[in-house]
Structure 1
Amino acid sequence: MGVNKLRTLSYGGGLLVGLTALWATISYGGSPLRFVGGFALAVVAAGLPAGLAHSKATALSYYRRYADEDAGFSEEQGAVYVSGSSVDDAFEALESVYASLEGDGTYDRIERDAFDEGPGLTVTYSGFHNCFVRVTDGGQMVVTGASKKTGTVADAVASACSLSFDRTRDNPFEGVEPVRGAPRVFLGVIVFAILLVGVGALAGGAYPSDAYNPAERTALMTIDASGDVNPGVSPTDTQLRKASFLVGVVDEEATEIRWEGNSSAEIAGHGRQAIAVSSDARDLLAAVREGLATPEQVERANRLAAELREAEQSVATALAERADSQALSGDVAALRRLGERLRADATPEDGAVGDAVTGEATTGDANASPAWATPAVGVSRAAITASAA
């Protein structure tokens, strides 16, 4: 993963999750502490690559500053000489050094050069060796090179500018280097994982009900967010989209019940989740009935109500099948009670959402305000959020 890609992932992803946290705080109301964890993870993801790079640079700087000058160091590996005092005029100091080295006659070539840090000198000797003379923003003269001749050049610069030089491992012109190589790829994976956990934390704050798993919570929050940011999606459309998703969740519970092991407690848990989710779906359809719905939305609500009844019947049937199994352990009677509850809920009058909505509903709903600004949607979100209670 390239540097730019990692930076885009950390900064862009962190910004997106952070903005989502702010949106969730406004949209879902209640205590903002529910979303602090997600926001904190967004900050961590955004700052982790830069923080590690700066930490590495700081540690290396301290090592170079306090390590034994002669331990593991040679001129051929690179030498850095920094003046103990500063010069008032960098250009004038460089010209003095240029004149001094040019008149020395021991160097192959002295060139005025332009570096990223500003003007400087390039000193060539022994045919191919180079030494560089530069000035920091603070006025310190810096001589760098990769041979024993570097110290000789530093002595010449010191003489020309009346300065004293100290050899150091800490090059003032070495900036913070980003994480590279395999660690960079690993860091990218970590940042991505942090972002996913951050999104999951926000979704958990938005929909804390135990009836939903992290993926379902995230899907519900995504539906809310898309409804809020898209002016072409009305609050009623958002309610219907969530109801449709929840109908699918209820129907999936039937499959989970059939695949579950022989623990009646685990199977009963799926039944209770189906009851909770179907209740949330029914609340959403009731909100559609009580709000402003177009004829098309009424028709869709009718279809969803029928699908919800079918899903509840499917879960009830799955519970009955498992209850009749001889291999189960635990309270089998609880499965029958849950199945009876679902069959009782799956009655035509509970699903008659669309029948109660007449064609008198107004049109133009697609241009309504964002969902978080609409009381009807706020009520439905609060109902789902509190469903666990």
Structure 2
Amino acid sequence: MNKLRTVTWGGGGLVILAAIWATLHYGGPGRFLPTAAIGLVAATLPFGIAYSKSAVTSLRRRFADVDEGISAETGSIFVSRSTVDDPVDCLESIVDAVRSDANADDVERESFQEGPGLMVMYTGFHNSFVRITEAGRVVVTGTSEHTHDLADTVAEAYSLSFDRTRNNPFSGMEPIRGAPRVFLGVFVIVLLLVGLGTVGAAAYPSDAYNPAERTVITGIDARGDLDPGTSRAETRLSKAAFLVAIVDEEAQEVTWVQNDSERVTEHGRQALRVSRDAEALLAAARDDSLTPAQAERATRVERRLVDARMAVAAAMTERVENDSVNETADMRRVVERLRATDERSTAS
């Protein structure tokens, strides 16, 4: 199995499985239909492109002028208009007819991928071939001008009539090669990453999280479901700890010089939203039967959450005090809510 097929089938299947898991875990099957669709596209894209290319080429050859640009020595493909019921009897009749033809040197029975056939040899390096399709049509091919004579011989031997064509019935799909194959591989990998990213986007649509953070949170959920050694309480504590890290990062982003008052206020709002999610996870974890180690971890996470919120409020206040941003009513309210939440947590 080639590498591109492995990536497309394996990666596409993984994305589809991720969509199924997310539907079972988060509910709302409609939310994850785009994920499944992306996985399906990624899995079938190379085949679809190769099939489309083959179909277009086949149609172009079928309706092209069979004589234009073709000499007597090239493009010699003849397909019978009617079908034969007994391929073996047909081939035996052709063998007898060819052996009585003075132009042919010899005829040999050959086994082709699609079944038995004949190879007719003439003086020189070029041979001609007689094969029969699964549908029962007799096909005469070759790169010699004698192929025309062979088609006439076969037609007389078995009462057939032939059409000359550019479209070889035995030409299958050609795989994608070269630079297009590399480009397609890169595109499929990007498509797979996008597909996995849509799981997090649908599961956690809040704009308080960026795509990378959503992916990590979704990964924690998946580990909790797939790892028998990870309890539900442990999963909630792990998610809460990660959310605390996000709140702490907001304090750093508030200090960025390029952030104006509006952006600073927005970072404060995001810290509030994420901290509420963390509080909800910690409360749900404490409702479970925590082990002493888990209870101690929950306490540590709560303390870190308080410190992270305080850091965000302090960073916003510092930006105002050093006159790098103008204080607005919205900013003041966000700072007050961050500190009020911290006071409640400290009191509890």
Q: 1:251 aligns with which of 244, 248, 251?
A: 248
Aligned-residue offset at 1:131: 1.4
Q: 2:168 aligns with which of 171, 194, 217?
A: 171
1:317-328 matches, within 5 Å, as 317-328=314-325
- The letter for the 2-side match of 1:345 is T
Equivalent pair of 1:82/1:167 in contact (CA under 8 Å): yes
Partner of 2:307: 310
Equivalent pair of 2:306/2:345 in contact (CA under 8 Å): no
Q: Distance in 2 between matches of 1:351 and 1:60?
A: 76
Q: Distance in 2 between matches of 1:27 and 1:150?
A: 65
Establish whether residue 28 from structure 1 lines up as the match of residue 10 from structure 2.
no
**Greater Cα offset, 83-92 or 35-44:** 35-44
Q: 2:7 aligns with which of 5, 9, 15?
A: 9
Q: Distance in 2 between matches of 1:22 and 1:212?
A: 23
Establish whether residue 199 from structure 1 lines up as the match of residue 196 from structure 2.
yes
Q: Secondary structure at the match of 1:183?
A: helix
- The letter for the 1-side match of 2:10 is G
Q: Secondary structure at the match of 1:131?
A: strand
Distance 1:95 1:313, change over 3 A: same
Partner of 2:93: 96
Partner of 1:372: none
Q: Secondary structure at the match of 2:104?
A: coil
Partner of 1:370: none
Aligned-residue offset at 1:127: 2.9
Aligned-residue offset at 1:316: 1.9
Residue-by-residue CA offset, 1:207-242 (whole Å, 9 max, x unaligned): 111111112112111111121111111111111111
Partner of 1:114: 111
Q: Secondary structure at the match of 1:259?
A: coil
Establish whether residue 149 from structure 1 lines up as the match of residue 146 from structure 2.
yes
1:159-308 matches, within 5 Å, as 159-259=156-256, 261-308=258-305
Aligned-residue offset at 1:143: 1.0
Q: Distance in 2 between matches of 1:77 and 1:318?
A: 79
Aligned-residue offset at 1:272: 0.7
Higher relative contact order (CA 8 A, sep 6+): 1
Q: Percent identity?
A: 53
Distance 1:220 1:75, change over 3 A: farther
1:325-364 matches, within 5 Å, as 325-328=322-325, 331-347=327-343, 349=345
Q: Distance in 2 between matches of 1:25 and 1:235?
A: 18
**Greater Cα offset, 69-78 or 254-263:** 69-78
Q: Distance in 1 between matches of 2:130 and 2:58?
A: 21
Distance 1:351 1:24, change over 3 A: farther
- The letter for the 2-side match of 1:194 is L
* Structure 2 alignment gaps of length 5 or more: none
Q: Distance in 2 between matches of 1:279 and 1:351?
A: 17
Q: Secondary structure at the match of 2:200?
A: helix
Residue-by-residue CA offset, 1:353-383 (whole Å, 9 max, x unaligned): xxxxxxxxxxxxxxxxxxxxxxxxxxxxxxx
Partner of 1:366: none
Give the alignment's Cα RMSD to 1 decimal: 2.0
TM-score normalised by L of structure 1: 0.84
Partner of 1:365: none
* Number of aligned positions between the proteins: 348
Aligned-residue offset at 1:76: 4.2
Distance 1:305 1:351, change over 3 A: farther
Equivalent pair of 1:64/1:169 in contact (CA under 8 Å): yes
Q: Distance in 1 between matches of 2:325 and 2:184?
A: 46
Q: 1:66 aligns with which of 63, 68, 76?
A: 63
Aligned-residue offset at 1:182: 1.4
Q: Secondary structure at the match of 2:127?
A: strand
**Greater Cα offset, 102-111 or 79-88:** 102-111
Distance 1:109 1:350, change over 3 A: farther
- The letter for the 2-side match of 1:264 is S
Aligned-residue offset at 1:49: 1.6
Equivalent pair of 2:107/2:118 in contact (CA under 8 Å): yes
Equivalent pair of 1:78/1:147 in contact (CA under 8 Å): no
Residue-by-residue CA offset, 1:120-148 (whole Å, 9 max, x unaligned): 11222233212111001111111111222
Equivalent pair of 1:323/1:335 in contact (CA under 8 Å): no
Equivalent pair of 1:305/1:351 in contact (CA under 8 Å): no
Q: Distance in 2 between matches of 1:122 and 1:260?
A: 80
Partner of 1:126: 123
Q: Distance in 1 between matches of 2:319 and 2:68?
A: 74
Equivalent pair of 1:262/1:327 in contact (CA under 8 Å): no
Q: Distance in 2 between matches of 1:103 and 1:185?
A: 53
